[in-house]
Amino acid sequence: MDTPLLETAADGTPRSARFDDVYFSAAGGLDESRYVFINHNRLAERFAALPEYGQFTVAETGFGTGLNCLAAWQLFQQLAPATARLTFISTERYPLSAKQIDTALAQWPELAPLRHTLVRQYPARFEGFHSVELADNVDLLLLFGDANVTLSELNAGVDAWFLDGFAPAKNPDLWQPTLFDAMARLSRPNASAATFTAARRVRDGLSGAGFQVERVKGFGRKRDMVRAEYIGRCGPPRPGLWPANEWVWPKTANQDRRAIVVGAGLAGAHSAWELAQRGWQVTVLEQATTVAAGASGNAQGAVYARLSAQDAVANRFYSQALELSQQRLGQLPDSIPHANCGLLQLNQGPKEAKRFQQYHQANPYPADFVDLIAADKASEYAGVPLASDALYFPNGGWVSPAALVAHRLDHPNIRVLTHHTVSTLTPNDSGWQVDCDNGERFNVPHVILATAWQSAAFPQTADLPLQPIAGQVSRIATTDTLATLRAVLCSDRYLVPADRGLHSLGATFHLKQSQTDVRSEDDTDNLQSLHQRLPQLIQGNETPVEARAGVRCASPDYLPLVGPVVNTQAFTTDYGEALRKRRTDRLPAPAHYPGLWVNIAHGSKGLTTVPLTAKTLANGLNDEPMPIPQNVLNQLNPNRFIIRQLIRGNA
């Protein structure tokens, strides 16, 4: 990304050389933030009035040093109910580094605990959405890039706007009509806005966006500033404009905060935990005798993603998912076997050589997220000799999926019932009747299927294109050679540093197979494949100490399926012709099965993708801002395959 060109003024105030303007007032940056943005958005009054489990969203243009974010967060901690949630969304085209932010904010000791958390959690600087978890009930959603672009992909309802950024005369690219159009689309009823500037273009832009604008006394020596209340644009809103109707998620108007999650693997456990964190009461139904009995039950798993140097939707999703999963990996308690030991993707084979060549030409990521390094440096990080260059993920590592699942399900709002095989799902007036083979019956407003490829067994989800992929992980005892391995190694197989004297390696890949029996030939395949790639580490004749087979689930485009499910027949009738003509803007909402959701098809990367998809699903059910761009969310939509078929006229 472009650098911020930070300077320090004579009085110590951080200043942008690019815009010839200060980040905050030398007369008192925190006082100005509170006066302009906190007071004129009436945040003290509104935070205190939030109900239990209420949620509030602030959107800001220009994150800068993060001062406004910390001021809002501090006040929220002081006044809001403990169960309420705050999402602070902020755009930034030229993000400062964590060190620069730390230095700029150090002058306010009262903010020190919040500053330390922000600096510790601050994301890598590359374009896109970054979900930063500041506290259990406070999320920071950073949108790095041009605000007029990033806000166009934001799916949220905003309660208060902080229009910061540099002055319109010095930063005219920000204060464009597209900004005010985005505000009109995103603002909730009675949303407010405040800004330090009273420039005519800003007042006119706010008025045109449906805000009632008022000029008031500015901070300190400034003559005036603007505050505004959203009253709506004139005329009826046009339906189906954004997102296109076929991609819209249904609103969850039901205030009954209960859900059943079917499946107690990674996807099910995280989906249940995210809702439980928001005060929902969740029952998890698992057909096996224990949780994590399927593909999520391995002793070790790598937290990784195969990123390219190209700006594709899949790449945006995987980079954001990897960032969040790495952030959480670093916060796990010692009771869960894991290590933030770094991860190396090795340049082996012709396909990898092409991908690595793209990184040689241009790495879109900063080195603190992924760095292209030579073999000698890779060997140093790995602690073992390596013969190829590698992509180094300094925050990568491994975790025990089985222990992570158990940890997420250990929550007072979650009840886990094993030996419960769901036989039928029947819609009723209250939502869903869930019947199990053992005769038990449940009635809840929401059901989340986290049953991987077995989701196709239910009539409502039988049309989803899911394919099973059987595979086996082998474990071997450490050796003198392997004992020094201190980073995860990945090519088309992986090798993990030892945990209690055992290394995990794998995994085999049997497309469209669903067997779960452990096979000696799969152990041989794992060992021989790694011997070919890492002969200096794996001899190929090691004796496996243990092995575990499981079945992963993938979609045709190898992206997860997350969100609501449509009635295929009704959707085809309503949308078939309109999709072929690309004229869906006047159609009614799609015929979703009310209260039925899926979080499936994570393939071999569930440790990386599930945290973000579960959070996305919970935010959707809880009417919180979506943590990923809308164009990415569309490509995770479970109904994308029928939509594509209808557009092509193949359904």
> Could you tell me where the DSSP H helices lie in 278-349?
313-329
pLDDT at 530 over 90: yes
The 10 Å CB-count burial string (b at 16+, else e) for 261-278 is bbbbbbbbbbbbbbbbbb
Reading the block at residue 327, the tokens are: 């952030």
State the pLDDT at residue 331. 96
Rounded to whole angstroms, the Cα distance separating 197 from 137 reads 31
Residue range 6-230, CATH number: 3.40.50.150
Rounded to whole angstroms, the Cα distance separating 208 from 442 reads 50
Q: What is the 3-state secondary structure (H, E, C) of 330-397?
A: CCCCCCCCEECCCEEEECCCHHHHHHHHHHHHCCCCCCCCCEEECHHHHHHHHCCCCCCCEEEECCCE
State the pLDDT at residue 351. 81
The 10 Å CB-count burial string (b at 16+, else e) for 331-364 is ebeeeebbbbbbbbbbbbeeebeebbeebeeebb
DSSP 601-646: --TT-HHHHHHHHHHHHHHHHTT---SS-HHHHHHH-TTHHHHHHH
Model confidence at 193, pLDDT cuts 50, 70, 90, reads very high
Is cis: bond before 243, omega within 30 of 0? yes
Domain 245-294+403-466+557-648 CATH (choose: 3.30.360.10, 1.20.1260.10, 3.50.50.60, 3.40.50.1000) = 3.50.50.60
Write out the H or E segment, with its range, that includes residue 71.
helix 67-79
pLDDT at 234 over 80: no
Nearest one of 123, 111, 611, 187 to 369, comparing CA atoms:
123
pLDDT at 627 over 70: yes
Rounded to whole angstroms, the Cα distance separating 122 from 327 reads 10
Nearest one of 317, 259, 297 to 622, comparing CA atoms:
259
Rounded to whole angstroms, the Cα distance separating 161 from 42 reads 11
Convert the pLDDT of each residue in 40-98 to its tens digit: 999 999 999 999 999 999 999 999 999 999 999 999 999 999 999 999 999 999 999 99
pLDDT at 247 over 70: yes
The 10 Å CB-count burial string (b at 16+, else e) for 614-634 is bbbbbbbbbebbbbbbbebbb
Nearest one of 544, 404, 553, 541 to 471, comparing CA atoms:
553
pLDDT at 238 over 60: no
Identical fold for domains 6-230 and 245-294+403-466+557-648, yes or no, is no
State the pLDDT at residue 433. 98
Model confidence at 338, pLDDT cuts 50, 70, 90, reads very high
Model confidence at 1, pLDDT cuts 50, 70, 90, reads confident
Rounded to whole angstroms, the Cα distance separating 552 from 320 reads 22
If you ran DSSP here, which 8-state letter would residue 39 be given? I
pTM here?
Answer: 0.96
Contact status, residue 498 vs residue 478, Cβ threshold 8 Å: yes
pLDDT at 392 over 90: yes
Contact status, residue 156 vs residue 56, Cβ threshold 8 Å: no
Burial class, 105, CB count within 10 angstroms (exposed 0-12 / middle 13-18 / buried 19+): buried
* Cα angle 71-76-78, degrees, rounded to a multiple of 5: 100
Nearest one of 145, 143, 55, 128 to 94, comparing CA atoms:
145
At residue 573, the 3 state secondary structure works out as: helix
Rounded to whole angstroms, the Cα distance separating 189 from 209 reads 13
Rounded to whole angstroms, the Cα distance separating 591 from 513 reads 33
Contact status, residue 278 vs residue 622, Cβ threshold 8 Å: yes
Contact status, residue 597 vs residue 638, Cβ threshold 8 Å: no
Contact status, residue 274 vs residue 295, Cβ threshold 8 Å: no
State the pLDDT at residue 526. 97
pLDDT at 202 over 80: yes
Q: What is the 3-state secondary structure (H, E, C) of 334-345?
A: CCCCEECCCEEE
Q: Where are the domains of the chain?
A: 6-230, 245-294+403-466+557-648, 300-399+467-554
Q: In residues, how long is the chain?
A: 651
State the pLDDT at residue 435. 98
DSSP 483-531: GG--SEEESSSEE---BTTEEEEE---EET-------HHHHHHHHHHHH
18 or 27: which leads in pLDDT: 18
Rounded to whole angstroms, the Cα distance separating 116 from 139 reads 15
Model confidence at 651, pLDDT cuts 50, 70, 90, reads low
Convert the pLDDT of each residue in 59-73 to its tens digit: 999 999 999 999 999
State the pLDDT at residue 241. 64
In the beta sheet, which residues pair with residue 619?
Answer: none
Model confidence at 649, pLDDT cuts 50, 70, 90, reads confident
Its CATH class, for the domain covering 300-399+467-554, is: alpha beta
Mean pLDDT, residues 35-43 taken together: 98
Report the helix count and the strand count for the chain, using DSSP H and E. 18, 32
Convert the pLDDT of each residue in 419-431 to its tens digit: 999 999 999 998 9
pLDDT at 618 over 60: yes
Mean pLDDT, residues 215-232 taken together: 95
Residue written as token pair 């992909």: 153
Reading the block at residue 317, the tokens are: 């999703």
Work out the percent of the chain whose per-residue pLDDT is above 90. 88
State the pLDDT at residue 525. 97
Burial class, 201, CB count within 10 angstroms (exposed 0-12 / middle 13-18 / buried 19+): middle
Rounded to whole angstroms, the Cα distance separating 366 from 394 reads 11
